[in-house]
Structure 1
Amino acid sequence: MSVPLTVCISAGEPSGDVYAGMLARELLASEPGARIVGMGGREMADSGAELLIDIRDSSVLGLVEVARSLPAFLRKRRTLRDWIRDNRPHVLVTVDFPDFNLGLAAQARSLGVPVVYLIPPKAWAWRRRRGRIVAQVATRVLCLLPFAAGFYRDAGADVEFIGHPLVDTIDAYGLPDRRGAREALGLSDSGRVVGLLPGSRTRELGCLLPPMLDALDVVRESAPDAAAVVALSGSTSDASVAEVTAMATIRGARVVVGSTYEAIRASDAVIAASGTVTLECAIIGTPMVIAYRLSPLTYAVVRRLVRVEHSGLPNLLAGRRACPEYYQSDVSGRFLGSAVTELLVSDAARDSQSGAFSDMRAKLGPPGAMQRAAAIVAETARSWAHE
């Protein structure tokens, strides 16, 4: 391709923004003069991409929440569609966020723009017909998990298992040992520490943080001196940080922002929102309890459609319930507190998770996931340009 590469990236949630930012950095480093434009948040902006749409403080969770945000969704999609129509980038990269991105991908293909779907929908878990839809609208599909790649291959997609970029991220982070992590966070080197990882979305914080804090009361029945740290991502809004700090302080928990890895390493056990952070815990090696809660209506729909036994990514990779999982009404201080207490007091419970974590890491693939993704994006753009 004689002209510099122009890539449109669509990432509609904080988690997707992280991966979009990684990809943008790799593309800008490997493709001189490349231009990255699209929808994202802090990570994409910091990478050097141009944001047509800034997603900060606008992400939602669940079917019902998406429906309520439909007018804004459609406006944003029209903005990206119009930009793609008027500027004809060499490739569109969609990152997760399927309720938005599947429609955008179809629109891009109708305009003759190839689509690389990075982190396609979790159709292997529910709404399986989306596998065929992705195969139809995506030129290439890039999966971070091996079982997802297998599912999309069976659905007819041109798919590649690129490995998981968290392997590189955590290896390169320079994470201190537990003592150093505690020192960095102002925690005592002695005594037990419980980490609380309630997620980054406003609704997750509202649903998961209160029962996580209630769990501390149960933990302290067996370990009265147990300390607690609530870890929030750097993308959490100032208003949410202030609200969480007020809730946590009265329960004797410290709040840290942008130091999630240190909090995981400093903790003897964590209670984590189901999602990517559970893989981060597994890679770092800290035992966990997984919590998952949606709005009642969203959960009622999901429960009828879901086709997997586990929701936690470590358990899906392990093929068994290596880590305790709690859903909906079972996400309570009593259940979470009892489960995390067992991890604090039982060597067997901790060792069982540690063994599973070693196997999981091998399944996440070798280093270099985002370099492989960037190479495939550039290759796709060049292949289509020469057709």
Structure 2
Amino acid sequence: MKLLVSAIEHSANIHLKALLPHLGEEVELRGIFDRELGEPMEDLRSLAIMGIADALKKLPFFFRLADRMVDAAADADRVLLIDGSGFNLPLAKKIRKRHPDKEILYYILPQAWAWRRYRIPVLERTCDRLLSILPFEAKHYSPTAPIEYVGHPLLDEIDAFKETPPAERKRIAFLPGSRRSEIRRLMPLFHEVRRRLGEIDARIVIPPYFHPDEIDELYGDLSAFTRDPETHRCLLESDFAFVCSGTATLEAALIGTPLVLVYRAKALDAFLVRHLTDLRYAGLANLFSMDFRGRPMHPELIQEALSADAMLREYERFDTERYFDDVLALRRYLGHGSSARVAAILGGETAG
């Protein structure tokens, strides 16, 4: 089977890598993905964007790349789009227009349930299968939409989980995110909290792609921390975590590490999020928990609510026993990983 794949973001390639062992050797990958996974039509390193000015300069390149993908779809048996809605949703529309009978599958859907809901009918019209990783997502689509919950990829990608709640707090993880702006805003708080916690083993997760000189500029003096490039291992071995809003908060919750979500954005970005979305919580674990518990799992400190005092207050009063009960419920709620089901669908298995 010739499978045309668009995995244009780093996270999409993590999910694609987990999917490949389930597909079998008869599947031939084409399209956009990490070079370590095959022979892509474009090296993802050339797609990296730094800031709005860089994005505007590269727009013609992305338009040409989309046209190349549309051409390549003619010889593909199926098209698999993974996340990356800014590129993949327009691409789906172009492929559907040029090749109306081509089967298009979208895995890890745009969060149209949270904002820009007008994308939902576009997805329903454009894609043959909508492969959701959020159990509640289908209820936001029409009853006849070709959408199915396939499981959550983190349950494939995380290889070890806590089976009991931490009995004490000796090792604390600090995860300031992967974007430079996030790191610069959070590190002064992390330094202060680490100092005030005193005699602990403080671990900090630093993405492996930062240059040593850049680390010094972004993170400051890290002599009071132990560096760790492995998010899952660090969370598994830690008794508590302060985590920048993002996928890592759900990773911590699934692994079973008590956490406080922290985030501070530019004032304009925060204003837009508050006024353009219906989200009550930033963390996915909290959104899931509202669905199966009717309450959030862990604290969130965002914008003006975020301070070192607030972080330490939430740390001190955190109910670990109740949280771990929610952790077990979260694992049951998500059920299983998604890779095997997505592979079965790509192999021709029907919905159900």
Q: Residue 54 of structure 1 corresponds to which residue in structure 2? A: 43
1:77 Cα deviation from its structure 2 partner: 1.9
Letter of the 1:134 counterpart: L
* 1:51-95 CA distance string (max 9 Å, x none): 11232474559999866753343233233223324xx20111111
C-alpha distance 96-63 of structure 1, shift in aligned 2 (>3 A): farther
| 2:120–2:141 Cα contact (<8 Å) kept | yes
Distance 1:210 1:6 in 2: 45
Q: Larger deviation: 190-199 or 318-327? A: 190-199
* 1:162-202 CA distance string (max 9 Å, x none): 111222332xx257999xxxxxxxxxxx97332122333xx
Q: Which runs of no fewer than 5 residues in structure 2 stay unpaired?
A: none
TM-score of the two chains, using structure 2 as the length reference: 0.85
| Equivalent in 205, 218, 226 of residue 231 of structure 1 | 205
C-alpha distance 158-318 of structure 1, shift in aligned 2 (>3 A): same
C-alpha distance 294-127 of structure 1, shift in aligned 2 (>3 A): farther
C-alpha distance 375-58 of structure 1, shift in aligned 2 (>3 A): same
1:82 aligns with 2:68: no
1:273 aligns with 2:244: yes
Q: Residue 199 of structure 1 corresponds to which residue in structure 2? A: 177
Q: Residue 34 of structure 1 corresponds to which residue in structure 2? A: 27
Q: Residue 103 of structure 1 corresponds to which residue in structure 2? A: 90
Q: Residue 183 of structure 1 corresponds to which residue in structure 2? A: none
Give the match's secondary structure for 2:329.
Answer: helix
Give the match's secondary structure for 2:5.
Answer: strand
TM-score of the two chains, using structure 1 as the length reference: 0.78
Q: Larger deviation: 115-124 or 265-274? A: 265-274
| Equivalent in 164, 173, 189 of residue 214 of structure 1 | 189
| 2:173–2:235 Cα contact (<8 Å) kept | yes
C-alpha distance 71-297 of structure 1, shift in aligned 2 (>3 A): farther
Q: Residue 225 of structure 2 corresponds to which residue in structure 1? A: 253
| 2:265–2:303 Cα contact (<8 Å) kept | yes
Distance 2:273 2:64 in 1: 26
1:226 Cα deviation from its structure 2 partner: 2.7
1:133 Cα deviation from its structure 2 partner: 0.9
| 1:11–1:97 Cα contact (<8 Å) kept | yes
1:17 Cα deviation from its structure 2 partner: 1.4
Matches within 5 A, 1:99-178: 99-110=86-97, 111=99, 112-154=101-143, 156-170=144-158, 173-174=159-160
| 1:279–1:314 Cα contact (<8 Å) kept | yes
Name whichever structure is richer in helix by fraction.
1
The percentage of aligned residue pairs carrying the same residue is 28
1:232 Cα deviation from its structure 2 partner: 3.5
Q: Which runs of no fewer than 5 residues in structure 1 stay unpaired?
A: 179-189
Distance 1:33 1:212 in 2: 47
Distance 1:168 1:374 in 2: 13
CA root-mean-square deviation: 3.1
